[in-house]
Structure 1
Amino acid sequence: MQKFNRRFASLSILAALAACGKSEPLARPAPQFKRYFGPPVTQVAVYKAKRRMHLLSGNTVLKSYDFGLGNQPVGPKQFEGDGKTPEGLYYIDRFNPRSRYHLSVGISYPNERDKAYAAQFGRDAGGDIMFHGRGPEGNVLAPAEWDWTAGCITVTDQESEDIYAMLKIGIPVWLHA
Structure 2
Amino acid sequence: MAGKIIIFSAPSGSGKTTIVRQLMQKIPRLSFSISATNRPPRKNEKDGVDYYFLPTEQFRKKINNGEFLEWEEVYQGTYYGTLKSEIDRINAEGKVAVLDVDVVGGTNIKKQYGQEALAIFIKPPSLHELEKRLKNRDTDSIAIIQKRLAKAEKELGYARFFDQIIVNDQLEVAYEEAEMLVNKFISLK
TM-score over 0.5 (shorter chain): no
Bigger Rg, structure 1 or 2: 1
TM-score by length of 1: 0.28
TM-score by length of 2: 0.27
Q: Which has the higher contact order (CA 8 A, sep 6+)?
A: 2
